[in-house]
Chains A and B, each alone.
Chain A
């Protein structure tokens, strides 16, 4: 299901740079469509600043009609936090991969969450380092083959998949919005992203949305296998749903479908 097949472009998309630079079937394009629609719905094009990381997210440096900063691997959050502190009226969107968020940028993520920095962080979880050719990431599934786990991820040696939203939800102060969406449910994803952006608009605290994303290029999957991997394999480890919503500050019921202990 390539993004090119989808009819309507969000208003904030930059037509001149479409078709975009992601591989066919890539999840990044779907996430950025949901983000674009959320920005349109909230009418915040004038105030939003988009930051992308190094990783395939960098290919979005000219994706939107938004002021955009392409930063370093794992450093998008501190750049936008610095910006937001200096210009609180702007809306800071930090877009990155799972490697950028949970490995090289983990100390920034944890610290921003504990400070409740008023930014919106969106992480594309494709279970590996895509841009560098498909190495193991903190999110790689047990037994999953990557270029640096060619015999499958050995959890005894390299640990289990990192649960980003769960970590964030555990340490975030009140006012945080935390969710995990998936490119397999775009309507829900747009809703999560929109809530995350609203949370920043309302000045309540940090918002964090992980998205289960697709990388058919490095997974070496066809369309059917790609969707199967997201919906049947990834979702076993990464339950989709809202983990923290500032309204009522209640931990929401997360789908525990098939979750392994």
Chain B
């Protein structure tokens, strides 16, 4: 077993990218594969500085296609491994993630969203929600966590490894450039000291015993001849995904009990929204916040229940309706007016949200 990097609890002040590197170390991640792209780079920078001290490995690949597929190789080898990317790199990563989805491989990818489409900005956005949730030629059978703080970055990066290996769906931590680059206080910890058991990893090839004689060989494929064969495999995966959903979904509700105006936001925007709720409350408006933490699977039942007495909904996001679409799908059939504050690729302040809410 690899050396433990963190003992006890450590209060620190660092960037989000550094937090992610420490989280992967603390989770017992043994290998990172990656290709440079801003704003993800420093995850690799910290990892490559720390990894040799704790007997972990790193491979810089030729592109994100390779980063995705080498990550798959590491998973098949039975190791806790990950990669990180953003923007155009996330686009290239999707081919491998489609294979992971088909073959139920527990890949972990940290995405630090930047402006899009195309090269756009290296700064920030929430525009990779569709891509991360539904990229690839499949059904979006993935787990996507949306952290909102440095403590979240730490704990959801650790959790991503556990969910991936427990349920065997490709798992993503959907951060953003602001969280990656911002310095903030955080508490680092060893998961096991907190009573968290790391989900065990196991090899899928290179198994003990002589294949064909002492055991069946592992014959892993993603190609099928018949519609019925594929349908049977996918039906099993969809069933697993649906039965996992109640265990996996996470959300956070703020001031929701008597809320007439419900704001829905994820990630770092949910922090601006929480601040806006407080201001609106001080000004006499009964505002509340629903923050989905898992975007796949989406907390559909919880959102429907908690929208209960709301008379108006506002979706706020740094994208042009990607979260809004998920919310509308979740609330299908409910007749509550919904307006959205959509700022693709732009940061959003509490003041903007307050003003938008008051102008409704």
- Let me know if A82 and B219 touch, CB within 8 A: no
With A67-B206, A72-B95 as known contacts, state yes or no: A78 contacts B65, CB within 8 Å: yes
- Let me know if B70 and A81 touch, CB within 8 A: yes
B-facing mask of A98-120, CB < 8 A → 1, else 0? 00000000011011000000000
Choose, from A84-92, A181-189, A240-248, the stretch at the interface.
A84-92
Chain B residue numbers with a CB within 8 Å of A71 are 69, 72, 99, 222
With A85-B57, A108-B62 as known contacts, state yes or no: A80 contacts B220, CB within 8 Å: no
With A61-B219, A78-B69 as known contacts, state yes or no: A85 contacts B59, CB within 8 Å: yes
Q: Is B44 an interface residue when CB atoms closer than 8 A count as contact?
A: no
Looking across the interface, which residue of chain B has its beta carbon closest to that of A62?
Answer: B219
B-facing mask of A171-185, CB < 8 A → 1, else 0? 000000000000000
Within 8 A of A (CB), among B75-93: 76-79, 81
How many angstroms from the CA of A84 to the CA of B76 in the assembled complex?
10
- Let me know if B66 and A78 touch, CB within 8 A: yes
Which of A14, A67, A78 is B205 in contact with, Cβ under 8 Å? A67
- Let me know if A85 and B31 touch, CB within 8 A: yes
Q: Is A68 an interface residue when CB atoms closer than 8 A count as contact?
A: yes
With A54-B223, A62-B219 as known contacts, state yes or no: A86 contacts B212, CB within 8 Å: no
How many angstroms from the CA of A90 to the CA of B206 in the assembled complex?
7
Q: Is A83 an interface residue when CB atoms closer than 8 A count as contact?
A: yes
Which of A14, A67, A70, A82 is B207 in contact with, Cβ under 8 Å? A67
Q: Is B218 an interface residue when CB atoms closer than 8 A count as contact?
A: yes
Chain A residue numbers with a CB within 8 Å of B200 are none
Q: Is B211 an interface residue when CB atoms closer than 8 A count as contact?
A: yes
How many angstroms from the CA of A58 to the CA of B222 in the assembled complex?
10
A-facing mask of B183-221, CB < 8 A → 1, else 0? 000000000000000000001011100111100011111
Q: Is A64 an interface residue when CB atoms closer than 8 A count as contact?
A: yes
- Let me know if B77 and A14 touch, CB within 8 A: no
In whole Å, how far is A131's beta carbon from the nearest beta carbon of chain B? 10
Q: Is B73 an interface residue when CB atoms closer than 8 A count as contact?
A: yes
Which of A62, A66, A86 is B74 in contact with, Cβ under 8 Å? A86
With A49-B205, A111-B66 as known contacts, state yes or no: A82 contacts B72, CB within 8 Å: yes
Q: Is B127 an interface residue when CB atoms closer than 8 A count as contact?
A: no
Which of B69, B99, B217 is A14 in contact with, Cβ under 8 Å? B217
Q: Is B163 an interface residue when CB atoms closer than 8 A count as contact?
A: no
- Let me know if A83 and B212 touch, CB within 8 A: no
Within 8 A of B (CB), among A230-256: none
With A46-B210, A87-B203, A107-B62 as known contacts, state yes or no: A58 contacts B223, CB within 8 Å: yes
In whole Å, how far is B94's beta carbon from the nearest beta carbon of chain A? 12
How many angstroms from the CA of A111 to the CA of B210 in the assembled complex?
33
Q: Is B128 an interface residue when CB atoms closer than 8 A count as contact?
A: no
Q: Is A79 an interface residue when CB atoms closer than 8 A count as contact?
A: yes
In whole Å, how far is B21's beta carbon from the nearest beta carbon of chain A? 18
How many angstroms from the CA of A164 to the CA of B66 in the assembled complex?
20
Q: Is A69 an interface residue when CB atoms closer than 8 A count as contact?
A: yes
How many angstroms from the CA of A75 to the CA of B66 in the assembled complex?
8
Chain B residue numbers with a CB within 8 Å of A111 are 61-62, 66
With A107-B63, A108-B62 as known contacts, state yes or no: A68 contacts B217, CB within 8 Å: yes
Chain A residue numbers with a CB within 8 Å of B218 are 67-68
Within 8 A of B (CB), among A45-67: 45-47, 49, 54, 58, 61-62, 64-67
Within 8 A of A (CB), among B36-76: 57, 59, 61-63, 65-66, 69-74, 76
New contact pairs (15) apart from A67-B207, A70-B223, A78-B70, CB-CB < 8 Å = A49-B205, A61-B223, A65-B211, A65-B213, A67-B205, A68-B218, A70-B220, A70-B222, A71-B69, A72-B96, A75-B99, A78-B61, A78-B73, A83-B205, A86-B74
5 smallest CB-CB distances across A and B, nearest first, come from A82-B73, A65-B212, A82-B70, A111-B62, A83-B73
